[in-house]
Amino acid sequence: MTDQYAVIGNPVEHSLSPEIHAEFARVTGQDLAYGRILAPRDGFRQAVQAFRESGGKGLNVTLPFKHEAWDLAAVRSGFALAAGAVNTLLFQGDRIAGHNTDGIGLVRDLTRNLRVAVRGKRVLLMGAGGASYGVMEPLLREQPQTLVVANRTLEKAIALVGHFEKLQQFALQGISARPYDALAGAQFDILINATSAGLDNAMPPIPGNVFASGALAYDMVYARRTPFLDFAQRQGARVSDGLGMLVEQAAESFFIWRGVYPETRSAMAMLRRRMGRSAPAAEGVNRDS
């Protein structure tokens, strides 16, 4: 019998998850079907319960329900605990287990696909919203030299850093929060835009001299060329969008559900073709995709 999975959100019609998981099922020989569930904004729990009762095995959770999914889960993985958000639900009998695979997806894209080590590097994380909370712990466990969180509202950056204070020993020179105008004179090896500014054709107000020689500029937004990536490339940085993160976090969800880790190369190539972009997303980077 074909096992049922889905992505749940509102909106959800834009999600690429069904295509990604269909490709994972193909390459691994797993018998599953994967759909989309548009849940009412005040009806997340009811929609999850209805899917479970129909025989569903697990769900990916997208906006705006990641915090509700965290509340719903009876058991949470370590990364989900720190992030305060869940993007993957696994139904285990009467129990719901919650996981957060976003940070794992980012780190795997950086280290496996882009072949950029985080260990010993100076990392700038722009934004202090849910996306940043989701990736902080996995980034810190890669043992960067330092990790700086920059945000327009400094108080939010300070709160984010304080939330992960117990993990700051993983960064050799610690973690800190700064407003953007305090970045002048600092340089970073990996710059990650975790804001949604690119969706509005905008970018965080960073100075041009923050890019160290050979720096990688990474934007979590995918399927479009953002002003941040254009700006970074003009400064001589290597650039990448967030499509690899999307695929790698999905692969971790697939492993949680099925116990099989899919290779991600074919899914990446499929999505690039679908988007009409045959060239790699990471210009100047030896990318395994």
For β-strands 75-76 and 56-61, DSSP reports them as: unpaired
| Whether 57 is catalytic | no
Q: Which of 66, 121, 156, 166 is catalytic?
A: 66
260, two tokens? 């099989």
- Sheet with strand 3-9: strands edge to edge: 32-38, 3-9, 56-61, 88-92, 95-99, 75-76
Per-residue burial over 134-148, b if 16 or more Cβ lie within 10 Å, else e, is: bbbbbbbbbebbbbb
Separation CA 43–CA 175 (nearest Å): 38
| Closest-CA residue to 50 (of 1, 6, 3) | 6
Tell me the two tokens of residue 184.
Answer: 């002048």
Angstrom distances, CA of residue 50 to CA of 11, 58, 70, 154: 18, 12, 18, 41
Give Cβ neighbours of residue 264 (< 8 Å, ≥ 6 apart).
Answer: 113, 244, 247, 248, 251, 289
Q: Where are the alpha helices (DSSP H) in 176-242?
A: 227-234
Rounded Cα–Cα distance for residues 284 and 289 (Å): 14
Please list the active-site residues: 66
